[in-house]
Structure 1
Amino acid sequence: MKVIGFDVETHLIEDGLLTPPLVCATFAGGRDTLTVARKLSAGLTPEEGAFAEMPNGTWELLTSAQQAEATLLELADEVDVVAAHNQVFDWAVMVNENPALLRLVFAWLESGKLRCTKVREMLIAIASDNFKFDNRVNKNPGRFSLAHCVNVYFRKDISASKKDPNAWRLRYHELDGVPINQWPRGAKAYAVEDATWARRVFLAQSEPAKLDQGWVVRPNGEVVNEREQMAADWCLHLMACHGVRTDRENVQQFEAYVRSEAAKADVAARTGGFLRVNRCKACGGTGQVGVVPRLMPCTSCQGMDDMACRAAGVYKSRAKKPFTVAKDMKRLKAWVQHGYGGNAPQTDKGNVKTDNDALLGSGVPVLQAYAAGKEFSKLLDTYVPVLWKGVDQALTSSPNVLVRSGRTSWSKPNLQNPPRKGGFRQCFVPRPGKMFASIDYSGLELTALGQVCLQFFGHSTLVEVINAGQDVHLWFAAKMLNISYEEAARRRAAGDKDIKAKRQSAKIANFGFPGGLGVSAFVQYAEGFGVSLTFNEAETLRNDWLAAFPEMEEYFDMMSSAGNYGDFTIKQVASDRLRGGCHYTSACNSFFQGLAADGAKAAMWSLTKECYLDETSPLFGSRIWAFIHDEFLFEMPEKWAPEAAKRAEQIMVREMKKYTPDVRQEAPPALMRRWYKDAEPVYDRFGELVPWEPEQ
């Protein structure tokens, strides 16, 4: 197998620009490609490139931006694999330089010519239980950098050159347009280093590896499931590059709402006497004296702030440092202990927990108000600044193709778990002449769970209900009420409140129990949906659920047996991807979450190809800007959005059926003029899809 390493150096990434201008490209190879490398280097002038040949037959080639494409194409024709680390960045930069390369990148990804050492390492780490903490080097792998991979396979630390703020890594814009033969030696050396290491890491990763459950790396050097994940990685990066815009007026409204809610944390802290607002010795600066919960206002400072206390003569400050408002942790912990009747949850070191879960579960209103306000303070820091970036330019986020379950994640901002309150989603708007489309699978994780059960046990009541076209939540609600599905449907249509409440309980059960939640954990889970259950009520609900779906007893028994001797490894249905280090609940979740993710990623690839390449498709010219596990968010040309949305629905169902062939799949599309959580399909009197609008 002939392999070359590839890397690019560019201007710095900027807000709204994930494809900065190219400065140079670098290539690295071995003896099997030395002849073609010599030939290519001979055709370059000293101003255009630099070539180095090592005694062991390996070589390195640095080319200017102007020569990068031609060199790449000639080398790629001669090899089986072009290896790069975080390759989606490199290929997006190259495509930005010449859009004609786009079709070739898709083809090369499909054929397996392009390989990403980062994605490969993530898959290997997931299989070997080194994803969260890498036992091979006793370090957290972080974002699986090239430096981490080099450390894993060669026990060499190259991180210093990556972290140095004066390193050439951040300065190549200074060399844009400068002839290669005028570059400093350090700039040349750093540029070729990543291509060299990418090739060496790829070859090290290609060593066959097999566990009892199956292959991690096949005999041909291919990591199981790498092509599918690399394809999805490319699609996600294209989403990030395209980005999305935000609306100034709505961002202002969201910020105002978040600021007002965040301020309530300080109000609650003052009320509870666990916020130090001054230097008063009588009350410790909290404005409250006494013992929790019997606190009284301090008569000395009356809760005034530091400046007011000094002005009123409460005390004279001789401190050199300015006063800073801070929490009184001792009193906060006292409130938590009070809320839990002296049995407050504790940290591993035996301290009273004061995290938001502990505060919200305390039952103490002042602590719950404080926790709620703190959550909004986080939104103020993490979401508001990012939203403002999208007002004047595209908001480019950071998707991640793979976590241990096989799902994706998202950051800067987290579009997969956005704030529910304050109108966050409504801040996102399509560009002029465009329209948003939301297309999500109906009950995807339940359909995947049903397919998994069919695969393992040969039967599934869940699949029977889904294939009958029935609402699974309503079906289970009818079971619990001992009435027919038809009667439950009729009563729901009539607005029956009992049916609505019972269906909500059924929905929470259908979402919560498949992942292996115990009764106590389920009580807390239900609280997140605004439903309060006693332990006995939750236990009854679980027993009813298991009776309704008997295959789940077998499912849970299988997981329990697998974990008899500690953590274990599972083999994913359909993709054969392995996940090591599983325990009971992670295994329960991974089988159906992983299958759903694999099917959605297959759909992502087909959708993206039509959006970018197929000029005969209604989807051509549309762009996906976010993927939320079971939902794709599109920006479509308004004039053919109905046809494009319908085509996307067809592709999504077709691709998911390849992974869940025995279960009915649906993916109804909805059009909208800004991002709405509640958007649903709306059709005009001619049967054409039209934008959903909220009720005024």
Structure 2
Amino acid sequence: MGTLLKTNMWKGQHLKCDGAFGFDTETTMIEPGMIPELIVLTFSDNKRSYIVSPDMVGAWVEMIYLSGCNIVAHNVAFDYHVVFAALKYVEEIRMWKAMVEQNKVWDTMILDFLVRLANGEEDGPLRPKSLSDLSEHYLSVKLDKSLQTEWTKFLGQPMEDIPDEYLAYALKDSAVTRELFNELHPVAVHISNHNNCLIDMHGPLTHHTQVKGSIALTDCSRVGIKVDTEAQQNIGVEIKLQINDIVNWLDSNYPALFKRDVRKKFAGKLMYNYTTGVPAIDSKALRVYLLNIATELKLRDKSIPKTDKSGEITTSADYWSEHKHVFIQHWQDMTTKAKLLNFVEQIKTERVNPRYQALVRTGRTSCSKPNLQQMPKAQWFRKLFVPSKGTKFIIADYNAVELRCLGAICKSRFGFSQLARTFYEGIDPHAYTASSLSNIPFAEFMSLKKSDPEKFKKFRQSAKAVNFGVPGGLGAKSLMEYASASYGVSMTLDEAKEWKNKLVTEVYPELSRYLFQDVLGALCFNLQCGADEVCDAFNLRSAGVYAFSPIQDVVSGNMRSRKGTGYTGAFRRHVWNALSKINKDSSLEMPLRSQRGSPSLRRRIFGNTVVTLTGRVRGAAEYTESCNTQFQGLASDGAKLALYAVSQLYPVVAFVHDELVVEVPDDAPETHGKVIESLMNTSMDKVLNGFVRSEVEWVVSDTWSKT
């Protein structure tokens, strides 16, 4: 027996709680669809660390539970399921689950993510950080992870056979986790208190809700979803044939578009990009074709976005898809189908086990390998996924959940909300909006559902685009583009302006306050200065949104305005000097002195700090981000609570934002559907705080399709 086993072995004794126990598990290798087997568990208080053998894990759970102490791990969802699988008795399992329900389980990975999200100092996708990264950042301690994947050889071996160097490695991880908790927990609580967040139910910065979500998502990934392999092969062949037809058409009508092989043996043949499955495109030829199309469509050259580096016209699908032309249609169709083929070919087994990230900037989740959340909704494609033998799918999602969350936010913040009232009275919010935008009394408009269903459907679809686009902070031009791309709704710029104004002043007047853009307030908050100081420094007579546009351009690093007018060197120096003069935030001193603009710096200086009703904080958010985050993040928190609740009773095989795909026994699926509906409504109502009631819609299906 090694020295560490003699001195650090936990033998079942009761230990006094000093706030929290850090813990970590060492396991066999991770395989898709499997929970790794536990080899050793270590845990630490603020004074010393202990080793727990697999046969003592049940006693350890009982000791922790009865002590009332918190436990903390890094990526706790992994360790939670490892311990769960190692428990033998029902009472041990009950106590282990109860600790999550009682919010006694903490995660340093999630705490760090939430703190960084609140600080808003990072650009690009926000990703979870490893224990070793955080240890070095917060504690200046480097962790040697070379032994991380070498534990399988000790499976089934006596604890005495594990060398001290391995045990020291395991003990170090739990001790570092405990120290990280000491660093991160007070910061998270401070940020929550500073932003007047309620933390009792959801924890500091919604930590407790994210823990439940991560535990459920890890289980969802492990369970996976069954694939009909025959359908997969047929769909793959069909997509390839469709791509081939599109490529032949493009090659015949636009012969310079694709790159061709110049080698003698293959001269003239198309050069395929084997990642995308389509021929490689000659970017110069593509731009020539697009310029010709722009001339044909009478697009002004200044209206076409240019790339930052080369200044050439954009080849972005987001821009060109707005314009109707046969070339653009085929080009975009080829790109879309190539992505679809890549998705299908990623599926290598009879059961897909995607990876979920429990939290991104908006508060939502993400999915990869494969990304089920971006899967086409077409029935011909979704028949790929089928329930296990002896089960049916319950496909359940929320009705207009983001609008319900928006209504709850407005009711909470302003004391009134016509949108919330609409839901309370059981009125379809899209029909309500449509009747107002079309100047038809509501009762008369609803009668169109029978007398003129096509007209009813058309007006309601237009209203749907407005209802979902405007609350996200879209301007009239962006609303027009969004309506066309997302809902197939055509509207003129004047109509977009009129409908947006009517929505926020007449239909749901609370939205005018919700969408108010307080640029001055954000600037004062970020620079820790007063409004008078800002106005004096820049000689502003008004503090409207447009008054700050030139200042924001300079801080972003733009040399010209959106209209193409150049900013003089004197003006740019004045902006930097004025900002430096009024700034009282020490962390911004050097960036302002350097006078080097960037989008990141603009976010820090002009970005908003937004808080969800559940208490999550997002710092340095752009205007549209701050509008979207509040209701998207709130809906996501409710959906995560629902996912956790449902996963305690049924295997959830897929999760897409507010949709759950659940396997239930096929003998009485409707009974189980009602249970799932109740669990989902109860969970979402916890974040709506009684201002609005949630509503769940569900179907029983033999494939992942509602039709």
Query: Which bracket does the TM-score occupy, shorter chain normalised?
Result: 0.7 to 0.9
Q: 2:84 aligns with which of 95, 118, 121?
A: 95
Does residue 595 of structure 2 align to residue 595 of structure 1? no
List alignment gaps of at least 5 residues for structure 2: 1-17, 273-277, 296-300, 525-605
Distance in structure 2 (CA, Å) of the matches to 1:71 and 1:668: 42
Q: 1:474 aligns with which of 413, 418, 431?
A: 431
Distance in structure 1 (CA, Å) of the matches to 2:362 and 2:279: 42
Corresponding residue of 2:562? none
Distance in structure 2 (CA, Å) of the matches to 1:664 and 1:514: 20
Structure 2 matches for 1:334-373, cutoff 5 A? 334-341=288-295, 342-343=301-302, 344-349=304-309, 350-361=311-322, 363-373=324-334
List alignment gaps of at least 5 residues for structure 1: 32-57, 134-139, 286-300, 308-323, 612-621, 680-693
Q: What residue identity is the alignment partner of 2:316?
A: D
Distance in structure 1 (CA, Å) of the matches to 2:517 and 2:324: 38
Distance in structure 2 (CA, Å) of the matches to 1:428 and 1:628: 14
Per-residue CA shift, 1:532-581, capped at 9, x if unaligned?
A: 333223223223322322111111126556445511212222x2222211
Q: What residue identity is the alignment partner of 1:168?
A: L
The 1:21/1:200 distance shift into structure 2, 3 A limit, reads: same
Corresponding residue of 1:153? 138
Distance in structure 1 (CA, Å) of the matches to 2:379 and 2:285: 31
Q: Aligned to 2:618, what secondary structure does the other structure show?
A: strand
Q: Which moved more, 1:6-15 or 1:348-357?
A: 348-357
Does residue 35 of structure 2 align to residue 7 of structure 1? no
Deviation at 1:503, TM superposition (A): 1.0
Q: 1:506 aligns with which of 444, 449, 463?
A: 463
Deviation at 1:86, TM superposition (A): 0.7
Corresponding residue of 1:257? 238
Corresponding residue of 2:190? 210
Does residue 440 of structure 2 align to residue 483 of structure 1? yes
Per-residue CA shift, 1:330-374, capped at 9, x if unaligned?
A: 212222333344454222213432232244345453244223212
Does residue 655 of structure 2 align to residue 627 of structure 1? yes
Deviation at 1:489, TM superposition (A): 2.1
Per-residue CA shift, 1:354-408, capped at 9, x if unaligned?
A: 232244345453244223212222232234322x42x2xx422222222222222
Corresponding residue of 2:96? 105
Distance in structure 2 (CA, Å) of the matches to 1:74 and 1:353: 62
Distance in structure 1 (CA, Å) of the matches to 2:198 and 2:428: 41
The 1:63/1:210 distance shift into structure 2, 3 A limit, reads: closer
Does residue 369 of structure 2 align to residue 330 of structure 1? no
Deviation at 1:649, TM superposition (A): 1.8
Corresponding residue of 1:277? 260
Deviation at 1:640, TM superposition (A): 2.9
Does residue 674 of structure 2 align to residue 646 of structure 1? yes
Structure 2 matches for 1:134-283, cutoff 5 A? 142-158=127-143, 161-162=144-145, 167-183=146-162, 186-208=165-187, 210-211=190-191, 213-214=194-195, 223-263=204-244, 266-267=247-248, 270=251, 271-272=253-254, 273-279=256-262
Q: What residue identity is the alignment partner of 1:279?
A: V
Q: 1:533 aligns with which of 474, 491, 496?
A: 491
- Percentage identity across paired residues of the two chains: 28
The 1:361/1:259 distance shift into structure 2, 3 A limit, reads: same
The 1:268/1:74 distance shift into structure 2, 3 A limit, reads: farther
Q: Aligned to 1:275, what secondary structure does the other structure show?
A: coil
Corresponding residue of 2:454? 497
Distance in structure 1 (CA, Å) of the matches to 2:616 and 2:481: 32
Per-residue CA shift, 1:15-58, capped at 9, x if unaligned?
A: 332x1222322233332xxxxxxxxxxxxxxxxxxxxxxxxxx3
Does residue 681 of structure 2 align to residue 665 of structure 1? no
Q: 1:121 aligns with which of 112, 129, 144?
A: 112
The 1:510/1:177 distance shift into structure 2, 3 A limit, reads: same
Aligned residues: 586
The 1:169/1:465 distance shift into structure 2, 3 A limit, reads: same
Distance in structure 2 (CA, Å) of the matches to 1:601 and 1:468: 27
Distance in structure 2 (CA, Å) of the matches to 1:461 and 1:226: 32
Corresponding residue of 2:513? 554
The 1:654/1:187 distance shift into structure 2, 3 A limit, reads: closer
* Contact residue 363 and residue 629 of structure 2 kept, 8 A: yes
Per-residue CA shift, 1:301-320, capped at 9, x if unaligned?
A: 8x55699xxxxxxxxxxxxx
Q: What residue identity is the alignment partner of 1:571?
A: V
Q: 2:69 aligns with which of 80, 87, 111?
A: 80
Q: 1:419 aligns with which of 373, 376, 379?
A: 376
The 1:558/1:455 distance shift into structure 2, 3 A limit, reads: farther
Deviation at 1:63, TM superposition (A): 4.6
Per-residue CA shift, 1:125-180, capped at 9, x if unaligned?
A: 111114646xxxxxx8633222232233124454xx55xxxx33223223323444
Q: Aligned to 1:512, what secondary structure does the other structure show?
A: helix
The 1:13/1:200 distance shift into structure 2, 3 A limit, reads: same
Corresponding residue of 1:319? none
Does residue 362 of structure 2 align to residue 398 of structure 1? no
Deviation at 1:113, TM superposition (A): 2.8
Distance in structure 2 (CA, Å) of the matches to 1:216 and 1:470: 32
Distance in structure 2 (CA, Å) of the matches to 1:119 and 1:452: 25
Distance in structure 2 (CA, Å) of the matches to 1:414 and 1:171: 30
The 1:553/1:417 distance shift into structure 2, 3 A limit, reads: same
Corresponding residue of 1:48? none
Q: Aligned to 1:675, what secondary structure does the other structure show?
A: coil
Q: More helix by proportion, 1 or 2?
A: 2
Distance in structure 1 (CA, Å) of the matches to 2:84 and 2:638: 27
Q: What residue identity is the alignment partner of 2:608?
A: F
Q: Aligned to 1:115, what secondary structure does the other structure show?
A: strand
Q: What residue identity is the alignment partner of 2:259?
A: R
Q: Which has the higher contact order (CA 8 A, sep 6+)?
A: 2
Does residue 485 of structure 2 align to residue 523 of structure 1? no
Q: What residue identity is the alignment partner of 1:642?
A: E
Q: What residue identity is the alignment partner of 1:570?
A: V
Q: What residue identity is the alignment partner of 2:612?
A: Q
Distance in structure 2 (CA, Å) of the matches to 1:249 and 1:475: 46
Deviation at 1:416, TM superposition (A): 2.5
* Contact residue 210 and residue 217 of structure 1 kept, 8 A: no
The 1:86/1:215 distance shift into structure 2, 3 A limit, reads: farther
Corresponding residue of 1:568? 608
TM-score, normalised by the number of residues in structure 1 = 0.77
Q: 1:23 aligns with which of 29, 35, 39?
A: 39
Deviation at 1:437, TM superposition (A): 0.9
Q: Aligned to 2:394, what secondary structure does the other structure show?
A: strand
Corresponding residue of 1:34? none
Deviation at 1:268, TM superposition (A): 5.7
Q: Which moved more, 1:639-648 or 1:508-517?
A: 639-648
The 1:326/1:668 distance shift into structure 2, 3 A limit, reads: closer
* Contact residue 264 and residue 370 of structure 1 kept, 8 A: no
